[in-house]
Amino acid sequence: MKPAAVRSGGRHREAISFCWEAPPEDSNRVDNYTVLREIRDSSDTIRTVAVYGIPRDVGCYFDPIEHVEAPPERTYKNVYYRIFATDTVGEPGDTSDAACFVLAAPPSLVSPHEGDTLTPEAFQWRVAGFGDSYDTYMELFREDSLLWRSDTLRDIFGGLDDFGNHEMRLPDSLSPLPSGSYAWAVFLDVSVGKYPSSIRVGAFHVR
């Protein structure tokens, strides 16, 4: 399970991605899958959302983080997923054990700003400290194509009162960017506990 930038509805969105293996088939084939998302809120109430009718030939799912609500700065949220298959006569199979994705508060994009029209010389972002070290990197997209993934930057301090300011410059092979619309995604992996991770996506235009 990991964060991903997924293009949908003409733009890139922040998502939690995961895959599964098909169950053994008996006399009836799998027809579709149902994914269950479970979140426990501050009052210990469990909220379950079901996504029905995922085709049998789909082995991965991308759950938009906007449906989960990212946690505030310096905090985490546990998101649990389970899945079951339904066969061609409408009988559901066993539900899987829960798998936990630990969603961290996302980084903040500094430059370019959402919707800017410019040729960025550098990409800048900020991470609120989590009290432990973390890794961060970025990806650059044009429509469905991944143009570039940066090197990974490591912050070994990450104090609770610190902010990590990061900058990544385009490689010479991509500069200057041709005119058009682009998306960029910043990823965050925190080195604590169950390794929380997160993503923030932005967009800009080049004349």
pLDDT at 160: 54
Looking at the structure, do residues 98 and 27 belong to the same domain, yes or no? yes
Distance between CA 98 and CA 109 in Å, rounded?
A: 32
Q: Give the containing element (helix H, strand E) for 81.
A: strand 76-87
Is there a single domain that holds both residue 119 and residue 93?
Answer: no
Mean pLDDT across 86-107: 92
Q: Which of 75, 104, 133 is the last residue of a domain?
A: 104
Which has the closest alpha carbon to 185: 130, 123, 127?
Answer: 123
The answer on 139 and 59 residing in a single domain is: no
Q: What pLDDT shows up at residue 161?
A: 54
Beta bridge partners of 101: 79
The model's confidence at residue 181, banded by pLDDT at 50, 70 and 90, is very high
- Give the Cα separation of 30 and 86 in Å (integer): 6
Distance CA 144, CA 5 (A): 10
Q: How open is the CA angle 142-118-13, to the nearest 5 degrees? A: 40
Q: What is the pLDDT of residue 123?
A: 94
Could you report the per-residue pLDDT of 18-74, keeping only the tens digit for each?
999 888 777 678 999 999 999 976 666 778 889 999 998 889 999 999 888 888 887
Q: How far apart are CA 125 and CA 127, in angstroms?
A: 7
Do both 164 and 74 map to the same domain?
Answer: no
Tens digit of pLDDT for each residue in 109-162? 999 988 888 878 889 999 987 777 889 999 999 988 999 999 998 886 555 556
Q: Same domain, yes or no, for 148 and 84?
A: no
Q: What is the pLDDT of residue 47?
A: 84
How far apart CA 139 and CA 131 sit, in angstroms, is 25
pLDDT of residue 75: 83
**Domain region containing 57:** 2-104
The Cα–Cα gap between 123 and 106 comes to 16
pLDDT of residue 42: 64
Last residue of a domain, one of 61, 79, 104: 104
- Same domain, yes or no: 145 and 125: yes
Locate 168 and state its tokens.
Answer: 């990544």
Residue where a domain terminates, one of 104, 138, 170? 104
CATH code assigned at 23 = 2.60.40.10
- In this structure, the answer to whether residues 88 and 175 fall within a common structural domain is no
